[in-house]
Amino acid sequence: MASDGEARKLRTRLRRLRTRLHKLRTRLHRLRTRRRG
């Protein structure tokens, strides 16, 4: 099994990736809505 430190690192990495994806998604949504308007 992986050590506690490794698990923590993976968790932080996943969180960062999730936030990045969320930001990109919101940006795309805004652009789409702007085009429609």
| The predicted structure's pLDDT at residue 33 | 86
The letter for the amino acid at 15 is R
Domain ranges of the chain: 13-37
* Helix (H), strand (E) at residue 18: helix 4-36
Tokens in use for 29? 């949504």
The letter for the amino acid at 1 is M
How is residue 1 annotated by DSSP?
-
| The predicted structure's pLDDT at residue 27 | 94
Residues near 2 by Cβ (< 8 Å), separated by ≥ 6? 10
The SS3 of residue 2 is: coil
Nearest-angstrom CA–CA distance, 23 and 29: 10
Per-residue pLDDT tens digits for 1-37 = 678 899 999 999 999 999 999 999 999 999 888 877 6
